[in-house]
Structure 1
Amino acid sequence: MDRLHRRYEKPNMWEGKVTLRVIVKLNKVQQEARHCRCQPAGEGQFEVLDKFENRFVVNLNHYGCDCRVWENTGISCLHAAASISYIRGESVNYCDPFFSIRKYLDTYKEMIHPLPDLAVLKDDAPNEKVLPPNLKRLPSRPHKIRKREA
């Protein structure tokens, strides 16, 4: 209960749209994206050359890149980060909504309600024993128990 409550209270101090771990990852990706060169190819499309001179096509409108990191993780790859910085946008706006603070709060909004002590519960309940369920025989022929010789 304590852990769920702490995780529910933690985002009240956060600012922005996404969680802190995602912001740290986006900052690392943004640092790596400095070595990439962008060429605009149309409305929201870019051709990005990385430091190894590999070419990747980035489509900002469909949140896609040829390296497929963006589609698999929901966080923009370095090629997408380079093209986002080319248009002077924010990488936070191109993250999957799963990483938003609102989704984090929705995850931990359900609380586990406290229960009274077992001694209190035993006093309120009558002296009845809970019995195990009745055993039912299966409708087929019983299996033969075989002993294998050594």
Structure 2
Amino acid sequence: MKNKFDGVMQQIKTLDVEAYKYLIDKNPNTWSRAFFEMDRCCVAFENGISESYHNVIEPARHKPIISMLEDIRVYLMQRIFNMNQKAQDLQDFICPSVRKHLEILKKKLGNWSVYPSIYQEFEVIGFEESYSVNLATRKCSCRLWDASGIPCVHAAKAYSFVHKDPDESVSNWYTKQMWLSAYSYPIHPVTFNRGQSELDPILPPINRRMPGRPKKKRIRDPTEND
């Protein structure tokens, strides 16, 4: 939440004014979860997907252009196939990483207490903090549920209070069906012979004499003495 962000920033300012100025100059809207849009279902602020991809294709990037593109094509073809197979073999209806996250949350529920207000609306208190949870609208005042699409610990505690499993409120973006949909477009094989080609071989360009009188003396550096 923004008020918590402001509190942490004031602590940083007390410890190191230069560090505070550096962070403010970077525009908190681009790196702080307190300012994230609530309809993205993603709380990651790093670019891990691109970094992983560039790490995988690092050996291919040192090859000639055609060989590089072929290696990348084959890698992506296998990647899509393997991820599609994993999705098909999944016995759960939500992704494994989300299931693991929910299981970790369930171990923390003992630190929180629930006080019902009206139908499906609760106040969850713990660690000298309190949050409003509405199971009907799937919102929590901590905003983590809204931003990530995955129930926060406060929402999980509220679901536990009404004897329900929080996994039923996970966003559709994390379901098995969505996983299958993301990897349902394969890269089809290409038939060709790496050693032979029906096309004429690529030859080096023909040397041409440039217009004007050819220079015989080398170009001297401005720092050289006459």
Shorter chain as normaliser: what TM range? 0.7 to 0.9
The one-letter code of the counterpart of 2:171 is D
Match of 1:91 in 2: 166
Deviates more, 1:73-82 or 1:111-120: 111-120
Deviates more, 1:28-37 or 1:70-79: 28-37
Structure in which a larger fraction of residues adopt helix? 2
**What TM-score do the two structures reach when normalised by structure 2?**
0.53
Superposition deviation, residue 16 in structure 1:
2.3
Match of 2:157 in 1: 82
Distance 1:16 1:119, change over 3 A: closer
Give the one of 88, 91, 94 matched to 1:18.
Answer: 94
Give the one of 105, 111, 114 matched to 1:35.
Answer: 111
Match of 1:60 in 2: 135
Runs of 4+, deviation exceeding 2 Å: 118-122
Instruction: Tell me how far apart the structure 1 counterparts of residues 163 and 150 of structure 2 sit (CA, whole Å).
Output: 17
Unaligned runs of 5+ in 1: 130-148
SS of 2:157 mapped into structure 1: helix
SS of 2:85 mapped into structure 1: helix
Provide the identity percentage: 23
Deviates more, 1:98-107 or 1:15-24: 15-24
Conserved 8 A contact 1:76-1:95: yes
Superposition deviation, residue 120 in structure 1:
8.6
Instruction: Tell me how far apart the structure 2 counterparts of residues 78 and 121 of structure 1 sit (CA, whole Å).
Output: 61
Match of 1:70 in 2: 145
Superposition deviation, residue 118 in structure 1:
4.5
Aligned residue pairs total 128
Give the one of 183, 192, 196 matched to 1:108.
Answer: 183
Conserved 8 A contact 1:17-1:92: no
Conserved 8 A contact 2:88-2:180: no
Conserved 8 A contact 2:121-2:132: yes
Instruction: Tell me how far apart the structure 1 counterparts of residues 196 and 97 of structure 2 sit (CA, whole Å).
Output: 43
Unaligned runs of 5+ in 2: 1-76, 203-221
The answer to whether residue 79 in structure 2 is matched with residue 3 in structure 1 is yes
Superposition deviation, residue 29 in structure 1:
1.2
Superposition deviation, residue 56 in structure 1:
0.5
The one-letter code of the counterpart of 1:85 is S
SS of 1:81 mapped into structure 2: helix
RMSD, aligned CA: 2.0
Instruction: Tell me how far apart the structure 2 counterparts of residues 39 and 119 of structure 1 sit (CA, whole Å).
Output: 69
Superposition deviation, residue 2 in structure 1:
1.3
Conserved 8 A contact 2:116-2:123: yes
